[in-house]
Amino acid sequence: MTRRTVIVPNRLGIHARPAALIVKKASSFRSEITIAAGSEEINGKSIMGVMTLAAGQGTELAVTACGPDEEKAVEALCELIASGFGED
């Protein structure tokens, strides 16, 4: 299992477009991926799950993956989130 935290930097947080980008990236990996904000933990490959996080700017997310490509998955997702999704 690989786990890393990342802060949501973009002003609008994770709304529909960033959520879709997260799910698309997560779905490209074979590992099981979860994303947690506080006590809420969701499946990183579920658009509805990612949307329900309602992660605003400054929210700390814990990205966890378990599987054959877990390290690459966590690294890619954390880089995507830290990039601000190209919004700022």
Distance, in Å, from the CA atom of 28 to the CA atom of 81, rounded to the nearest integer, reads: 16
Catalytic residue among 4, 9, 15, 46: 15
d(C-alpha 7, C-alpha 77), whole Å = 12
Alpha carbons 37 and 35: distance in angstroms, whole number? 7
Single out the residue of 57, 60, 52, 47 nearest to residue 19, CA to CA: 47
| Bridge partner residues of 63 (DSSP) | 4, 35
Q: Does the annotation count 15 as an active-site position?
A: yes
Residues known to be catalytic? 15
